[in-house]
Chains A and B, each alone.
Chain A
Amino acid sequence: MKKVYGSAAEALDGLLTDGMLIAAGGFGLCGIPELLIDAIVESGVKDLTVASNNCGVDGFGLGKLLDTKQIRKMMSSYVGENAEFMRQYLSGELELEFNPQGTLAERMRAGGCGIPGFYTKTGVGTVIAEGKEVKTWDGQDYILEEGIFADLSIVKAWKADDTGNAIFRKTARNFNPPAAMCGKVCVMEVEEIVPRGSIDPDHIHLPGIYVNRIIQGQHEKRIEQRTVRKREEA
C-alpha cells in the first residue's frame, strides 16, 4: 500500500478525464487543495463539473480553473467573490447549480456513505425545491436531494500519516471530510506527512480508508478577509 506521491502531478496521474465530476474541499480560500488545483490547471483537463462550496477568487484557488475555462459546471452555495465567474456565468459559458450550503455538505456526506438520496426541509417553498420530490412527515414538507458520487475528490488536510489518517486544523476542516468521502478516488494534500503512531488514534478526523493518494507541500494559505481589532492601550 503506497499512498504517498512525490508531487501533485504524479498523484493525479491517470485520474483526470475530460467531463469528470470533481468534489473539492475548502470554504472560501480556507483549507482549499491549492497544490492539486494548480496541477489540474497544468494538466489541461477540461469540461469539468466541480462540486465545491465556492469557486475561489479571481486568479487563486478554483478561480484559476475558471481563467483557463476548464470548468463547465459548478455546484456551489456561494460564488460572490469572483468577477470572472460572473462574467462566464452571465455569458452562458459556465453552468451553475446552486445548492444550499448544508445540502451540499450533506449530499457529499451521503454519497460517501452510499446513500443515493435523502429528504431535507432546507429549501422547501423556494426555487431550490423546483422539480424535486416532496414528502410530508408530521405535517412538515421535505424535499428529496441526491447524494453526490464524485469521480475524484481533492482535499487538503493539516497532517496525515502515510496511510492517510488525517487531522485538519481549526476551520480549515470545513468541506474536506465530506468531499473526501464522496469520491471514487481521493487525493489529499497535507502540510506535513508524519510517522505512523504520531497522531493519537483517538484524534484522527478522517480515517485513511477514504484517502488513496497523498502529497506533502508548501501552501500559500491566502486570507480572503483580513479583519483585526486594535490592541487596548496598557
Chain B
Amino acid sequence: MPWDRNQMAARAAEELEDGMYVNLGIGIPTLVANYVGDKDITLQSENGMLGMGPFPYEGEEDPDLINAGKQTITELPRTSYFDSATSFGMIRGGKIAAAILGAMEVAENGDLANWMIPGKLVKGMGGAMDLVAGVGKVVVVMDHTNKHGDSKVLKECTLPLTGKGVVDRIITNLGVLDVVEGGLKIVQLADGVTEKELRAATEATIVG
C-alpha cells in the first residue's frame, strides 16, 4: 500500500532535527507539525512570526493572528513577531533550516513548479519563490502521479518554475527520492511499494 497523506507527513517529519527553524507549506506539509514528537522545532509563518502554535479554541480566534494561509492560529511562549521584510530577510538569508512544500511538478535537476498553470486560474507565488531560493533544505511532499495517473516526477518541468535546481528531497506516496548528480536516487520505498512500481510511476532518470 502506498503511503497516505498522514504517512507522508510522518515521513517528512523525520527530516526535521532538534533545534531547527522550519517553514511548512499548505496542504500535506501542514500535517507535518503533528508528527514532530519530542523534537524542539520552531515553525515560521512567513507573514511575520516564529513559534507558530495550533489553531485556537472556538471563540478564541484573533483576527490579528493568522498564518501564511490566512488561517487563525495561536502563539506559544517562544513566539516572536516581526514585519514581512524581516521575515523574508531570514528566509533569503538562509536562517530557516528547511522548507517542506507541496508541488505540481518536480524535475530530476531539482527544478520545482508549484505556483501557476497557464490558461487556468493564476493566483500568484506568494512566498514560495523566496522560500525555495533561500532556505537551507527544500523537501517536496506530493503524490507521485496526478489524478490522470501521469508522473509528477519529470525529466523537465512543463509548468512555469518556482525555482531552478532548488529541491533536495522528494517524498511521495510511493517513497523517498534525492536529487543527485545525473538524476534522482531512491532513498526509501513506501511500505509495500516495489522499486519496479516506483520506477514505472517516475518519468525522471533514476540513478544508482
Residues of chain A having any CB pair with chain B under 8 Å = 27-31, 53, 76-81, 86, 89, 98, 100-103, 105-106, 108-109, 120-128, 158, 168-178, 205, 221-231
Contacts and interface: CB of A to CB of B under 8 A. Distances in A.
| A interface SS class | loop
A227 B71 contact: yes
A100 B87 CA distance: 13
Given A28-B70, A77-B125, A101-B126, A124 B164 contact: yes
B134 interface: yes
Given A30-B66, A80-B123, 9 more contacts: A27-B48, A30-B63, A78-B124, A100-B127, A103-B129, A103-B130, A170-B75, A225-B70, A229-B56
B45 interface: yes
Interface in B128-159: 128-130, 133-134
A53 B126 CA distance: 8
Contact of A123 (B48, B84, B133): B133
A53 B125 CA distance: 11
User: Chain B: interface residue count, which band?
Assistant: 35 or more
B58 A231 contact: yes
Contact of B58 (A28, A106, A228): A228
Contact of B124 (A98, A102, A175, A177): A98
A223 B63 CA distance: 5
B49 interface: yes
A224 B164 contact: no
Contacts, number: 180
A230 to B, nearest CB: 8
Interface string B159-175: 01111110000000000
B49 A171 contact: yes
Given A176-B83, A229-B55, A224 B133 contact: no
B164 A125 contact: yes
A54 B192 CA distance: 44
A226 B61 contact: yes
B205 interface: no
B83 A175 contact: yes
Given A100-B129, A105-B85, A76 B124 contact: yes
B43 interface: no
Interface in B104-139: 111, 121-130, 133-134
B27 interface: no
B88 A101 contact: yes
B21 to A, nearest CB: 16
Given A124-B133, A126-B161, A178-B84, A227 B55 contact: yes
